[in-house]
């Protein structure tokens, strides 16, 4: 009988400790902030300070947030799946230290960004396609290139290196 009560007490303490540990991880990792679309969430990770700082000075600052460009916008489920996958990959890279000074976008993320560029700039892209058909030979202006081949400095400026933005360690917001 006494052993049974002791085991109940130990089991209760283990459950309380597990709940407390989980709550601590949620708090310390700012886990709930990742459910929002606030650009400041992206600088929870120090590697994104340069990208946040350059976006703050771009023409996109008042028009598009990180989420608007980097995540699918057509479905909440697809958005959360992409956010979860990217978050997992970012966490893994940060934990294992497998990222370099120059961050590289994945093919999957590049397709999402391209689709979002076209979605926001639909009228301009339509006009470009119409002009291309009217005034250019097929091989003069290859359509179908990623937008950032020509617009390399939008919205993150010409700096791609994590160490390129001066004083980037103190970036929070303007």
Residues 25 and 66 placed together within one structural domain of the fold: no
Of 44, 43, 45, the residue nearest 54 (C-alpha): 43
Residues 41 and 81 placed together within one structural domain of the fold: yes
Residue ranges making up the domain that contains 115: 37-171
- For the cut 90, the answer to whether the pLDDT of residue 77 exceeds it is yes
- For the cut 70, the answer to whether the pLDDT of residue 65 exceeds it is yes
pLDDT number for residue 72: 93
Residues 55 and 95 placed together within one structural domain of the fold: yes
pLDDT number for residue 174: 46
Q: Cα angle vertex 74, ends 88, 36, to 5°?
A: 50
For residue 110, the domain's CATH number is 1.10.3820.10
Residues 81 and 125 placed together within one structural domain of the fold: yes
Residues 23 and 85 placed together within one structural domain of the fold: no
Residues 26 and 97 placed together within one structural domain of the fold: no
Q: Is there a cis peptide before residue 24, judged by omega within 30 degrees of 0?
A: no
The dihedrals phi and psi of 82, each to the nearest 5 degrees, come to -65, -40
pLDDT number for residue 126: 86
What are the tens digits of pLDDT across the range 119-165? 999 998 888 888 877 776 666 555 678 888 888 777 887 665 555 55
Using pLDDT thresholds of 50, 70 and 90, give the confidence band for residue 43.
Answer: confident
What are the tens digits of pLDDT across the range 11-36? 999 999 999 999 999 998 888 888 88
Domain total in the chain: 2
- For the cut 50, the answer to whether the pLDDT of residue 58 exceeds it is yes
Residues 5 and 30 placed together within one structural domain of the fold: yes
The dihedrals phi and psi of 150, each to the nearest 5 degrees, come to -95, -35
């Amino acid at each position: 009988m006494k052993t049974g009560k002791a085991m109940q007490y130990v089991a209760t303490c283990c459950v309380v400790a597990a709940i407390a540990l989980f709550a601590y991880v949620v708090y310390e990792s700012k886990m709930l902030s990742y459910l929002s679309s606030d650009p400041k969430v992206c600088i929870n990770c120090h590697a994104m300070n340069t990208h946040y700082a350059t976006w703050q000075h771009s023409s996109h600052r008042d028009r598009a947030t990180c989420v608007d460009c980097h995540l699918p916008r057509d479905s909440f489920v697809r958005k959360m799946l992409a956010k979860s996958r990217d978050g997992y990959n970012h966490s893994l890279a940060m934990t294992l230290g497998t990222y370099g000074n120059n961050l590289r976008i994945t093919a999957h993320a590049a397709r999402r960004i391209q689709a979002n560029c076209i979605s926001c700039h639909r009228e301009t892209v339509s006009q470009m396609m119409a002009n291309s058909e009217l005034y250019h030979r097929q091989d003069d202006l290859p359509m179908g290139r990623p937008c950032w081949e020509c617009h390399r400095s939008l919205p993150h400026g010409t700096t791609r290196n994590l160490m390129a933005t001066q004083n980037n360690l103190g970036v929070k917001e303007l």
